[in-house]
């Protein structure tokens, strides 16, 4: 539910800002979002005993010279008691920005890690396939093989050693 509400705010921001204003807002939010990692800060933002204007002032004080649009945006969130949505808004904003730039992130998962050269080769291959800039990161797991997941594009490619063994055994049995 939070993500749906955050998307509405993000869409409003995207429609009402230029690219430079949007980059400025993203930079400011990058500086602000770590505060939401502090339990005391979250408690203040979620507290019904603290007025909306005090919460708004606290958030604005954490920002270094926010743009007028960001200031108005934070005031709006404060009036609607939705300052707690800022991390979700930031996540949705990052996603929309990546989509606008045709840039996507993915994960290469397996029981071993790929070298930087192998990772670059995979990025280039997927980039050509989807006509986009793809950024992959290694993730070591217990998966018996290798799996590439590009969630934003809805793509998952996997190569399982167990499946390969089963297919080889099936092929040999058919040949006999």
pLDDT digits (tens, 9 = 90+) for 92-145: 999 888 888 899 999 999 887 788 898 898 899 989 998 999 999 998 888 887
- For residues 85 and 6, the answer to whether their CB atoms sit within 8 Å is yes
pLDDT digits (tens, 9 = 90+) for 81-90: 999 999 999 9
What's the CA gap between 107 and 149, in Å, rounded? 5
pLDDT digits (tens, 9 = 90+) for 24-33: 899 999 999 9
What pLDDT was estimated at residue 9?
92
What pLDDT was estimated at residue 98?
87
* Whether CATH 3.30.70 fits 2-98: no
Burial class (CB in 10 A: 0-12, 13-18, 19+), 172: exposed
What pLDDT was estimated at residue 42?
92
The distance of Cα 100 from the centroid of its chain, to the nearest Å, equals 14
What pLDDT was estimated at residue 153?
85
For CATH 1.10.520, the residue range(s) in the chain are: 2-98
Q: Where are the beta strands (DSSP E) in 37-169?
A: 103-110, 133-140, 145-150, 155-160
- Nearest CA-CA partner of 109 in 65, 156, 70: 156
- For residues 28 and 66, the answer to whether their CB atoms sit within 8 Å is yes
What's the CA gap between 100 and 154, in Å, rounded? 17
The shares of helix, strand and coil residues in the chain, as percent rounded to the nearest 5, are 65, 15, 20
For CATH 3.30.2320, the residue range(s) in the chain are: 102-175
- For residues 59 and 32, the answer to whether their CB atoms sit within 8 Å is yes
What pLDDT was estimated at residue 72?
93
pLDDT digits (tens, 9 = 90+) for 22-75: 888 999 999 999 999 999 999 999 999 999 999 999 999 999 888 899 999 999
Reported CATH class of domain 102-175 = alpha beta
- Planar angle of CA 40, 44, 48, nearest 5 degrees: 140
What pLDDT was estimated at residue 164?
67
Query: Does residue 169 surpass a pLDDT of 90?
Result: no
0.85 exceeded by the pTM? no
Relative to beta strand 133-140, strand 103-110 is: parallel
């Amino acid at each position: 539910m939070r993500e749906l509400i955050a998307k509405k705010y993000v869409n409003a921001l995207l429609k009402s800002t230029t690219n430079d204003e949007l980059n400025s807002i993203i930079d400011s939010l990058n500086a602000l979002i770590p505060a939401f990692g502090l339990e005391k800060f979250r408690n203040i933002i979620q507290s019904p005993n603290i007025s909306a204007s005090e919460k708004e002032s606290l958030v604005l004080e954490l920002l270094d010279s926010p743009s007028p649009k960001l200031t108005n945006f934070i005031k709006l969130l404060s009036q609607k008691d939705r300052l707690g949505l800022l991390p979700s808004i930031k996540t949705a904003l990052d996603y929309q920005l990546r989509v606008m730039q045709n840039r996507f992130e993915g994960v290469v998962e397996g029981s071993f890690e790929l070298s930087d050269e192998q990772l670059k080769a995979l990025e280039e291959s997927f980039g050509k396939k989807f006509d986009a800039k793809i950024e992959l990161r290694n993730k070591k797991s217990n998966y018996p093989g290798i799996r590439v997941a590009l969630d934003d594009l809805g793509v998952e490619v996997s190569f399982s050693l167990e499946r390969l063994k089963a297919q080889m055994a099936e092929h040999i049995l058919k040949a006999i």
